[in-house]
Amino acid sequence: MRNQQSVWGMLGLLCVLAAPVHALTALTESNSPFNFMEKGKPTGLSVELVTEMGKRAGVPVTVQLVAWNQGYSDAQAKRDTCLFSTARLPNRENIFKWVGPLATNQWAFFAKQGFTGKINKLEDARPYRVGGIEQDARVEWLKEKGVTNIVTVVKRTELPQLLTLDRKKLGGIDLWITGLYTARQVAAEAKVKDVIFVKSVREEDLYLACNPGVPAATLGSLQSALDAMKKDGTHKKIVDSYLERYKP
């Protein structure tokens, strides 16, 4: 009986070892310092973290930069597909399976130089036109908090170009909500120089959000790899190296 159990045990082990590795496609947007293209390759704080997690977990990960709305749709529709760096909001909780947090982002309001409005708390933004990205977590959050005078676009570089001091200008925005570490880079890409920081309004953890079809074992291996990176200092080293360079 013991020999028979040993045989079955060995067979079970061989089956596990022979199980196919689930390669992942990890989609992300251009959103420095977390994810962006450099010399034709995806890079950034979160890209480095996800890539290292895949190596440690033995999970092949291919990172692709796409428009945010495309990535958000594909991660829901396609098996073995994940999206990052993603805010874990209540209305997204059951749509994805989550690994993280990878890092923490700060959300902030920016305006055109010369803006004289007083934004001491989020509610103070309600009378103003606020610009954001379609299907972006920041826009969803603003709506939940009663800030509804929102103008959304697809391309992030459109937003600093829409900033104006004229409250009556059609199609203009008074405030722009974006990541604290992202604004300077986006404004530079848009060739807009007169953008000023107004107010930080929220800190939000960022995650790898995966299609429910990704096997639980794969998700667990990636989470264990991330936890190990935080323990051995790799995570902090990567995060600090980027945030120090991108301080506003």
- Fold agreement (20-104+205-243, 106-203): yes
Cα-based angle 219, 137, 127 (whole degrees, multiple of 5): 165
pLDDT band (50, 70, 90) for residue 32: confident
Overall average pLDDT of the 99-114 stretch:
96
Q: Measured between alpha carbons, how far is 43 from 58 in angstroms, rounded to an integer?
A: 20
- What confidence tens digit (pLDDT) does each residue in 107-147 have? 999 999 999 999 999 999 999 999 999 988 899 999 999 99
Exposure string (b/e) for 176-213, b if CB count within 10 Å is 16 or more? Answer: bbbbbbbbbbbbeebebeebeebbebbebebbbbbbee
pLDDT band (50, 70, 90) for residue 4: very low
> What is the pLDDT, as a whole number, of residue 246?
73
Q: What is the DSSP string of 130-177?
A: EEEETT-HHHHHHHHTT---EEEESSTTHHHHHB-S-TT-TT-BSEEE
> What is the pLDDT, as a whole number, of residue 21?
59
> What is the pLDDT, as a whole number, of residue 247?
67
> What is the pLDDT, as a whole number, of residue 243?
84
> What is the pLDDT, as a whole number, of residue 12?
41
> What is the pLDDT, as a whole number, of residue 6?
44
pTM: 0.75
> What is the pLDDT, as a whole number, of residue 89?
87
Overall average pLDDT of the 63-67 stretch:
95
- What confidence tens digit (pLDDT) does each residue in 160-218 have? 999 999 999 999 999 999 999 889 889 999 999 999 999 999 999 999 999 999 999 99
> What is the pLDDT, as a whole number, of residue 158?
96
Residue 11, pLDDT > 60, answer no
> What is the pLDDT, as a whole number, of residue 182?
87
CA distances from 108 to 67, 113, 221 (A): 21, 15, 34
* Least confident residue range of 55-59, 79-83, 244-248: 244-248
> What is the pLDDT, as a whole number, of residue 184?
87
> What is the pLDDT, as a whole number, of residue 177?
97
What CATH superfamily classification does 20-104+205-243 receive? Periplasmic binding protein-like II (3.40.190.10)
> What is the pLDDT, as a whole number, of residue 181?
87
Overall average pLDDT of the 35-52 stretch:
95
Average of per-residue pLDDT values in the chain: 90
Question: Token pair for residue 109?
Answer: 């309001």
Q: Where are the domains of the chain?
A: 20-104+205-243, 106-203
106-203 — its CATH code? 3.40.190.10
> What is the pLDDT, as a whole number, of residue 71?
96
